[in-house]
Amino acid sequence: MKTAGKAAKPPVRAREKRDAPSAAAGSLRARLTEAEQTLAAIRAGDVDALVVGGPAGERVFTLEGAENGYRVLMDAMSEGVATLTERGLVTYCNLRFTAILGARPELTIGNPISRFVLEEDWERFQALIAAGAAGRSEGEFVLKAACAPVPALVRLAIVSLTIDGARTYCLVMTDLTAQRRLSAEVAAERAQMQARLLLADRMSSLGTLSAGVAHEINNPLASVVTSLELMTKRLPELGAPGSELGEWMRRQVGRASEGAERVRLIVRGLKAFSRTDDETMTVIDPRRTLDTAITLVSNEIRHRAQLVRDYDTLPLVWANDARLGQTFLNLLLNATQAIRAGAAEDNEIRVSGSIDAQGRAVIEISDTGSGITADHLPLIFDPFFTTKPVNQGTGLGLAVSHAIVKSLNGEITASSEPGAGSVFRVVIPGAPGAVAPAAPPSTVALQIEPRGRLLFVDDEEDLCAVIQDAVAPHHDIVVTTHAREALEMVAAGQRFDVILCDVRMPEMTGIEFHARLAADNASQAARVVLMSGGYSRRPGDPPIVLPRPLLEKPFQIEQVLKLMSEAMQREPRNAA
């Protein structure tokens, strides 16, 4: 071997042995020195080619050759490549091959491929190689390196070729682990999404059911509430205060009234859950909606926090009661869940309300819970974002609330201080011309008002009867269970201050009734107030648009009397 290139450097180490200064030894030492100089030069990188002797004379091997590019390519590609001898010995592999397997490169080349094949796969692997000998074969395998923590799922392609007369198998390996891991993640995410959709679906079914139940309960409940009111009024006739029967009756009626009021609140709450409920926008009192929402979660709140209500000055708003109720409920539940149970004394959920300069209702629900981290805060209104475990939160509550408030042309925002609590703020446009409603006027005040005329249309005979009894002391009242009869009365010239009409009636709906009345007598049609105990809409049906304000069942007689006095103050009815 000779060197080409620059002159050699001095030897790394000089031999100092001079105890046998013979000519032969001197010559040997000189040759040794020369050899060491040569080696040192090569090692130091002072040469750029080697001259190698062979049967066909000397050949020059340049040290950085054209094949270097192929080698770089081999090690840069994303497939693993290895060559196997016929006996299954790995004689070459690129860096990717060992990277996929997680094997140590120096323990891969020069070792049998069987080291990486699972025992149960060995026969199948041999068959793959045998098939590769005939051309090209492919198969999927799980390969495991002894030092790798996890096995690798790979696709192997085998090509056979002959090098220097020996059969060699080229093995190309594609990593499927990363691909599978990705698809497994997608599948897991999909499963989680499905679980949440299922829950959302169940909630929606509950909503449909609730709307139906609410309707069924509210009609008879309206009768119960009104009857109890009437009974309360006549209690004094039973005898002087302190009489045994009088007191007993008072207690019983009081209990029944309390019970009926609780049923009314619960049914109202059920309706707040109902997502398939109507989309009707009416003038509503958000304070009532808040009351109902709070009633529904009061049991949850009790163990976690003190509740503070401060929303007396809220104005009337133009909204959908059920939807708004759902929003408040979601926000209250959210606040409740942010507080861990057991320290109710130290925690507070505050519901406050006010009216802003533009007449909008501003409702703030604040808690002293865990708060929301700054990186989560921008995400909380995104659908399916939840920090709760699967099956505990749908990730929909705040997203739905957000959608609802948007649909009401309102705004919902959140601010939070992790560890100190969060504040959710809902701003809803006020009802046109609405001001904060006064406290319900007392019945005493109403009794001195002039008498008006009320037409009450409802297919429930019982309700007609109790309303007639309740209103008769204050106003003239005409009741009918048929909308057709009501139309005939107006056609015959009868005039009313208020026409209260149920929405859902078998022969003619309240909406149809109003439409026909409007065609005949617009000014009387403008006095219609609709009543409903909750009505449902089938999927696909257009949203129900109520032409007139809505009085929700069950209602209190005071509400009817208030409607009457408002109508009479606004505009005296035409002469009968």
Partner 1 sequence: MMAAIMGIPADTLEAAPEYVLRLFVSGFTPRSQRAIDNLRAICERHLAGRFQIEVIDLHQSPGRAHDDQILATPTLVRVSPSPPRRVIGDLSQADKVLRGLDIT
By the criterion CB under 8 A, which residues form the site for partner 1?
Answer: 39, 42-43, 50, 67-68, 71, 74-75, 83-92, 94-95, 105-115, 117, 119, 125-127, 129-130, 133, 146, 163-164, 166, 168
Q: How many CB atoms lie within 10 A of CB 498?
A: 24
Residue type, 547: P
What is the chain's alpha carbon radius of gyration, rounded to the nearest angstrom? 44
Closest CB 95 distance from partner 1, rounded Å: 5
**Residue 128, SS3 per DSSP:** helix
In the bound state with partner 1, the residue whose beta carbon lies nearer, of 146 and 390, is 146
- With a CB cutoff of 8 Å and minimum separation 6, the contacts of 178 are none
Closest CB 155 distance from partner 1, rounded Å: 19
Closest CB 85 distance from partner 1, rounded Å: 5
In the bound state with partner 1, the residue whose beta carbon lies nearer, of 91 and 521, is 91
In the bound state with partner 1, the residue whose beta carbon lies nearer, of 93 and 317, is 93
Closest CB 149 distance from partner 1, rounded Å: 16
In the bound state with partner 1, the residue whose beta carbon lies nearer, of 114 and 447, is 114
Q: Cβ distance 172 to 157 under 8 Å?
A: yes
Query: To 10 degrees, what angle do helices 286-302 and 244-273 make?
Result: 90
Closest CB 147 distance from partner 1, rounded Å: 9
- With a CB cutoff of 8 Å and minimum separation 6, the contacts of 408 are 281, 317, 318, 319, 320, 323, 324, 428, 429
How would you label 340-364 residue by residue, b for 16+ Cβ within 10 Å and e otherwise? eeeeeeebbbbbbbbbeeebbbbbb
**In the chain, what are the helix, strand and coil shares in percent, each to the nearest 5?**
45, 20, 35
In the bound state with partner 1, the residue whose beta carbon lies nearer, of 88 and 102, is 88
Closest CB 186 distance from partner 1, rounded Å: 35
Alpha-carbon span 547 to 530, nearest angstrom: 9
Closest CB 47 distance from partner 1, rounded Å: 11
Three-state secondary structure along 505-560? CCCCCHHHHHHHHHHHCHHHHCCEEEEECCCECCCCCCCCCCCCCEEECCCCHHHH
Closest CB 178 distance from partner 1, rounded Å: 22
Closest CB 57 distance from partner 1, rounded Å: 18
- With a CB cutoff of 8 Å and minimum separation 6, the contacts of 204 are 275, 276
In the bound state with partner 1, the residue whose beta carbon lies nearer, of 107 and 265, is 107
Alpha-carbon span 404 to 396, nearest angstrom: 12
In the bound state with partner 1, the residue whose beta carbon lies nearer, of 27 and 114, is 114
DSSP state of 113: G
In 417-480, alpha helices (H):
443-447, 461-471
Alpha-carbon span 328 to 305, nearest angstrom: 17
Alpha-carbon span 538 to 145, nearest angstrom: 61
In the bound state with partner 1, the residue whose beta carbon lies nearer, of 127 and 184, is 127
Residue type, 370: S
Closest CB 163 distance from partner 1, rounded Å: 6
Closest CB 177 distance from partner 1, rounded Å: 22
**Residue 190: both structure tokens together:** 């999909």
| Cross-strand partners of 307 | 349
574 half-sphere exposure, CB direction, 13 A CA radius: 11
Q: Which contiguous run of DSSP H or E holds residue 154?
A: strand 152-163
In the bound state with partner 1, the residue whose beta carbon lies nearer, of 95 and 256, is 95
Closest CB 109 distance from partner 1, rounded Å: 4
In the bound state with partner 1, the residue whose beta carbon lies nearer, of 162 and 442, is 162
In the bound state with partner 1, the residue whose beta carbon lies nearer, of 129 and 399, is 129
| Beta pairing class for 90-93 and 136-143 | unpaired
Q: In the block, which residue shows the tokens 């290895």?
A: 82
In the bound state with partner 1, the residue whose beta carbon lies nearer, of 66 and 240, is 66
